[in-house]
Amino acid sequence: MNSSTFFGLSTVAYILAMMTYITYLAFRKTTIGIVATAITVTGFISQTLALGMRWKEFADIGQMGILRAVPLTNLYESLIFFVWCLILAYLIIEFKYKNRSFGAFITPVAALALAFIDISGMSTDIQPLVPALQSNWLLAHVMMSFTSYSMFAISFSTGLMYLIVRTEKRSEPAYIFWTVMLSVFIITLSAMGLDYITFKMSVSSQEELIKSYLFKASFFSSSPAVAVVSWFIAVAFTFFVWRFGGILKKLIVSFNISYEMLDEITYKSIAIGFPIFTLGGLIFGAIWADQAWGKYWTWDPKETWSLITWFFYAFYLHSRLMRGWKGKKVAIVAVLGFMAVIFTYLGVNLLLSGLHSYGAQ
């Protein structure tokens, strides 16, 4: 048995947990809720074991100190760690707020991220560390960055839920914002899945898939009919979410999730994530760059996008103190902030070139 057995187990567990949480949301039986929690905890334990094993395997292969063998050096490992942080944070919230309903919103993110690893066929091999990554800063920089990303992911989910709960009319800008946001999120993921299914034979790496074949199976298809139909489905789906978004609101409200609680969790996760991101992501990153390359800031795309993300959340924290910026407007900033996080994390590595490109291997 090696780490991938346990990673597989945790993927299955999170997918099961997602289904159980949604069932729980539909039938509201406490037993189902307990089962859902139990499955999540099982998945979390096996993922923790897997992380530990991978760490050990990495240290053995790379022949380096245990501190430098952090299994966080490529996209595969970082996604897995991100999911681990997310589930940990979720379990803490479930325990603290004694509310299971969030599970139905968090576990899909975890399951999707792990499924993304499987369908995109990204490399799960252990690669020894390239010279630039051999530093004691790796552990602090990467772990803290991903911890903050998970906090931001939670603020994204609760921020979006806040908007769902607080909007009334379909003509309201905030309502339109969240329906479009949710639709784009789902459509993008589906389109990428479709790309993979269509082109998996003709590409050698997942990087090539995203660089050369992005949306070629749908929106940018060479066949005009497919492209037109894709755009039509996307617009129709967005319209559908917009038309029936009220159902989601009823569902959340029926589960005693108050908007005050959503606002509090959004704020708290950002208030924890922001200082960790500043210190671990920006400051430690700058110090590391200074020691490796003699430049603490080079306006490299990854650095720049981190700064943009930092601006978003700095703005969020300040805007709560401003008059007339409470509630929906701030929630929108929290949701947009996470879009910047996703781009910093994935988009920069996959679409732009720069010093951090080894993250895309």
Partner 1 sequence: MEKGKNKTIIDKIWDIFASVKLAVVIFSLIALTSIVGTVIEQQAEPEKNIKLLMKMFGLGHEAAQSFLGVLDKLGFTDMYHAWWFLAFLLIFCINLIICSLDRLPRVLKLVREKVRPLPVEHIEKMSIKKTFSQKNKAAHIKELAASALDRIGFKPLESSGEEGMQLYAEKGNFTRLGVYITHLSILLILAGAVIGVFFGYNAVLNLPEGEVSSYAYKDRETKIPLGFDLLCDNFEVEYYPGSDMPKAYRSWLTVIKNGKEVMKKSITVNDPLSYEGITFYQSSFGTVPDGMQNGIIILNVASANGQTEKIKTKIGGSFTIPGTSVTGRITDFSPALSFDQSGKAFTYAEHLSNPAIFVEFSEAGKIRDSGWILKRYPQTWQLKDGNRVEFLDIWGVEYTGLQVRKDPGVLIVYLGCIIMAMGLYMTFFMSHRRIWVSISEEKGSAKVVIGASANRNKAAFEQKIDKLIGMMNAGQKGGK
Query: Binding of partner 1 at residue 248 (CB under 8 A)?
Result: no
Q: Is 132 in the site for partner 1 (CB under 8 A)?
A: yes
Question: Which parts of 83-122 interact with partner 1 (CB under 8 A)?
Answer: none
Identify the H or E element spanning 284.
Answer: helix 284-293
Q: Which of these, 35, 72, 39, 71, lies nearest to 55 by C-alpha position?
A: 71
Left (φ > 0), alpha (ψ -120 to 50) or beta: where does 121 sit? Answer: left
- Of 135, 188, 357, 361, which one interacts with partner 1 (CB under 8 A)? 135
Q: Which residue has the tokens 């991220």?
A: 113
The two tokens of residue 219 are 């929106």
Under rule CB under 8 A, residue 23 binds partner 1:
no
User: For 355, which DSSP code?
Assistant: G
Q: Which is nearer to partner 1, 16 or 340 (CB)?
A: 340
Q: Which stretch binds partner 1 (CB under 8 A): 19-27, 183-191, 229-237, 277-285?
A: 277-285
**Is there binding between residue 62 and partner 1 (CB under 8 A)?**
yes
Q: Mask: binding to partner 1, 298-317, rule CB under 8 A, as x and -? A: -x-x--xx-xx--xx-xx--
Among 56, 90, 89, 87, smallest CA distance to 71 is for: 56
CA 19 to each of CA 31, 41, 93, 156, 356: distance values in angstroms, whole numbers, following the listed order: 14, 15, 19, 21, 36
Give 131 or 224: the residue with its C-beta nearer to partner 1.
Answer: 131
| 203 counts as binding partner 1 under rule CB under 8 A | no
Q: Which residues bind partner 1 (CB under 8 A)?
A: 62, 127-128, 130-132, 134-135, 137, 271-272, 274-275, 278-279, 283, 286-288, 290-297, 299, 301, 304-305, 307-308, 311-312, 314-315, 318, 322, 348, 352-353
